[in-house]
Chains A and B, each alone.
Chain A
Amino acid sequence: MNLTAEALEGALVVHLAEARLDAAIAIRFKERMRDVTVQPAARVLLDLSKVEFLDSSGLGAVVAVMKSLAPNRQLELCGLTPNVAKVFRLTRMDSVLPIHANLEAALGEGRKYA
C-alpha cells in the first residue's frame, strides 16, 4: 500500500496514494495508519486527493482510525475527490470529521489557531 507520512507545521500529514480505499485494502489501511500515527502530533491530516473510490468498508476504516486516535488526537481529512465526498455526505459522516478542501487549506486552518 502506498501510504507515506510527513510532519508539516506540527501536523502529521498522511498521504494515501492509492486509487481505491475499499474492502480489499481496508484492513491493511488501518494497520498502516496505526504504524505511522505512532509518531506524536496533535493533528493527523489524511490526504485523500489521490483516492478516486471509497466504499463503506473504506469509510469504516477511516472511522476506525479516527476512533483509535481519540480523545487526544483528531483525525482530519483533506482533498476529497467527488466520489469520495459523496460517500461522506450520504452517510452524514461529514458531520463528525473535519474535512478540508485541500492540504493547504487544512494547514492554513492550523496556522489560524497557532
Chain B
Amino acid sequence: MRERVRPKSPPSTPRPTPHPQQAEVRVFNLSFAATPIAVRDALRAAVARFIRLMTEEEAGTLELILAEILNNIVEHGYGDSGKGTISLSIARDGKGLTCSVSDDGAALPPACLDLEDRDPERPDPTSLPEGGFGWFLIRDLATDLGYHREQGRNLLAFRMPLDPIEIRRAG
C-alpha cells in the first residue's frame, strides 16, 4: 500500500488530498537574507510546503507572485545591497492562501498597489520592454492586496484563492 487511504475516499482523485485528521502543515514562516539566491531557496521551501495542498498550476502561480514581490524587495526595497532581511508567512485556510511579507527596506511607491485604471501603463509588448512587468503580474494573480508601513517596516499581504479540496472530496 502506497499510503493510507480513507475507506470512503473516491477511488481516484484529481490531486493528492491530505488526510483531514492528520496534522498537515498549513502554516509556513521563514526569514531570510534579501539576496536573489536566498529568495530562490525561500520560494522552493514555500512551494514544497504547500505543493500537496494545491494543483501544479496553482503552485506555479504562487511561486510567481512571491518571486515578483520578493525580488522587488531585494532590488528596490534594499537597493540590491544584499543587506536586510525579509520575512514571509503563508497560511492555508479553507478558501486559499493568505501570504504576508515584511521587510525594513524603502517604502513601496503607492502606484505599485493602485488597482484602478493602470492598464494604460502596462508595458507595451511592441516596445520590447525589459522590465516593468512585476506589479502587473502580482495584481493580475493575487487578490486582496494590501500594504501598510509602520515604524520603517513594510508589510504587504495578499490572498490567493485555491480550489477547495475539502469540498471537492466531499462531493
Contacts and interface: CB of A to CB of B under 8 A. Distances in A.
A66 B128 contact: yes
Contacts of A66: 128
Contacts of B68: 55-56
A20 B126 contact: no
A61 to B, nearest CB: 8
Given A55-B64, A96-B126, A23 B74 contact: yes
Contacts of A92: 122, 125
Nearest to A86: B60
Interface residues of chain A: helix, strand, loop or mixed (majority): helix
B40 A22 contact: yes
Contacts, number: 73
A114 interface: no
B110 interface: no
A66 B136 CA distance: 22
Interface in A71-114: 82-83, 86-87, 90-93, 95-96
Interface of A: 20, 22-24, 53, 55-57, 59-61, 63-64, 66-67, 82-83, 86-87, 90-93, 95-96
Given A67-B130, A91-B137, 17 more contacts: A23-B71, A24-B36, A24-B39, A53-B67, A56-B133, A59-B133, A60-B133, A64-B130, A66-B128, A82-B60, A87-B64, A87-B137, A90-B141, A91-B123, A93-B125, A95-B125, A96-B126
